[in-house]
Amino acid sequence: MSSALTRRNLLRGAGGAALATGVGLPLAGCGGDGGSGGGGGQAGGTVTFVYYGDAEDQKAYDALFNRFREEHPEIDLKFQGIAADSWADFANAVATRLAGGQPVDVVQIATEGQRIFMSKDLLEPLDSYIAKDQALVDAYYADTPEPIRRLLQQYASQDGHTFYMPGGYNTMALYINTDIWSSAGVEPPTDTWSWEEFRAAGEEIKAKTGAFLTAAGNGYFTDVMPWLLNNGTAPLSEDWGSSTLNTPEAVEALTFVRQLVVDGLAPEPGGTFDAPTQMAQGKLASFGGGRWPTNDLRRLDFIEPVQLVRWPENGSAGTPVGWDAFPILKMSKNKDAAWTLITYLMSEEFGDAVTTGGGATVPARISDATGPAFLDDAPENTELLVELLEVATPIPGPDRGPEMQMVIEEAWLQGVSGTKDPQTALADADSRLQGMFA
């Protein structure tokens, strides 16, 4: 159960589904960027693109791809949104559709689902398509962050084959309300800061303003991983092959967060509240997030007092990272047309349109992520989300990832809420996780 930031909000943000306000954007033609695909020639036919989102997002998607349709009348582009509760659930829903025989050509898949799809032999290697449009792909890679390409290669390629082209991503920073901090006479950190400094700031803030220091939820990406990674550990091993949830560092991290709750520096977990709203009302001094809270803060007209800072560390710096990526399904009957769509997703025009439209991920292209469309009307120091890639660890996506995520989130909630002591909560969860690896 999440508290401050619902997983739903995060997930809407983490993918292209958050392209919502891109309706009517003046997209330039994709002809210059669009390749002809592995098969060569003008590929046509129906292409079904499955994305993370609901019916509400459908219009936005349609609008973003109007120009694509104009440029490629030979391709009948269809969208199918899946309104899942998590990326893991989304991957499950797609798998179920595939098993049901529904035609799917291109899927927006986040980190959590990328290896599962690859290991199930559902994806078409993109090597031949890349080779035919090498210049286009090279230009795209040159404008995407090296860590994303490296991590994609490490976790989502197999036997030297490339299956995915990367899309937008999210890292985790802390959004802070500088008004609350200055009211308490506390200076926000300018660079790295420690857990002790974070806690001391919270005590001052609580005493002088009554506001909570931060939210203490149990979201895998938004809460569990940032605290673990900033204490030198992670929920799973680097190869996602075993649990590391019961390490002393993990227990220490959970104990620290629990103590914030016990001392009244963080609200009791177990329900739901809207963190940006609470921050705008002066009740919450900070909360964690990637790009997506910016859209909420815009909605609340509360951009100016907010600043992004690094997550506090305890001897080690880190952030989770999740990115969406686009493969061609092996079952696709129009693979060349599907590749044409992917080249459009890689194009500068599409990147610009998504960024201008208020996408909730950091755009894949560096030129977009460091440009005014991304940084203007956004909290101060938003560029931190890109800088954090240097210390980023991917959110794990093992084969039984959805189940494992549930176990980890539940254990974290038990520890933070005090239902179980942190050591017991993590030891019990670790035991269940090891069983899933067996």
Partner 1 sequence: MTAIAPPRVGEAVLDPGGGRQSRPAGLPSTLAGWLFISPALLLFLVFILGPFVAAMALSLFEYDLLTPAEFTGLANFKALVGDELLLKALGNTFVFAFASVVTHLVGGLVLALAVNRGLNRALSYFVRTAVFFPFLISWAAVALLWRYVLDPTFGLVSHYLTRIGIDPPGWFTDPAWALPSIIGIDFWHTIGYTFLIMLAGLQTVPSEMTEAARVDGANAVQSFFFVTLPLMTPTLFFASVITFIGAFQIFDPVQIITSGGPDNSTITAVMYLYRTGFQAFQIGYASAIALVVFAVIMLVTLLQFWGSRKWVHNA
22 lines the binding site for partner 1 (CB under 8 A): no
From the list 413, 166, 167, 182, the residue with the least C-alpha distance to 305 is 182
Measured CA to CA, the distance from residue 7 to residue 9 in angstroms comes to 5
Q: Which of 124, 214, 215, 221 is nearest to 165 (CA)?
A: 124
- Tell me the pairing of strands 161-162 and 157-158: antiparallel
CB of 368 closer than 8 Å to CB of 393: no
* Contact between 420 and partner 1 per CB under 8 A: yes
- Three-state DSSP at 319 gives strand
Complex with partner 1: residue 140 or 163, whichever CB lies closer: 163
> How distant, in Å, are the alpha carbons of 45, 189, 360, 427 from that of 324?
25, 31, 12, 32
- Least distance in angstroms from the C-beta of 84 to partner 1: 11
The binder of partner 1 chosen from 19, 30, 122, 123 (CB under 8 A): 122
Residues 254-313 that bind partner 1 (CB under 8 A): 267-273, 278, 283
CB of 92 or CB of 367, closer to partner 1: 92
Residue span 1-20 as binding mask against partner 1, x where in contact by CB under 8 A, dash where not: x-x-----------------
- Non-local CB neighbours of 431 within 8 Å, separated by 6+ positions: none
> Smallest distance, Å, CB 202 to partner 1?
15
Calpha distance 245→243 (Å, rounded): 6
Site string for partner 1, 329-358 (x = CB under 8 A): ------------------------------
CB of 437 to partner 1, least distance (A): 13
Q: What is the closest distance, in whole angstroms, from the C-beta atom of residue 115 to partner 1 in the complex?
A: 13
- Show the binding pattern over residues 380-409: x = contacts partner 1 (CB under 8 A), - = does not: --------------------x-xx--x--x
Closer Cβ to partner 1, 26 or 101, answer by number: 101
Under 8 Å between Cβ of 45 and 9: no
| CB contact at 8 A, 313 and 172 | no
- The Cα–Cα gap between 375 and 310 comes to 17
**Phi, psi values for residue 269, rounded to 5°:** -80, 170
CA distance 415 to 35: 52
Positions 72 through 111 that interact with partner 1 (CB under 8 A): 85, 88-89, 92-93, 95-96, 98-99
CB of 410 to partner 1, least distance (A): 4
Under rule CB under 8 A, residue 55 binds partner 1: no
| CA gyration radius, the chain | 21
Considering beta carbons, is residue 85 or 387 the nearer one to partner 1? 85
C-beta closer to partner 1: residue 313 or 409: 409
Closest of 51, 44, 13, 432 to residue 243, by C-alpha: 432
For the bound state, the minimum distance from the C-beta of residue 340 to partner 1, rounded and expressed in Å, comes to 27
Write out the residues near partner 1 by the rule CB under 8 A: 1, 3, 85, 88-89, 92-93, 95-96, 98-99, 120, 122, 212, 267-273, 278, 283, 400, 402-403, 406, 409-410, 413-414, 417-420
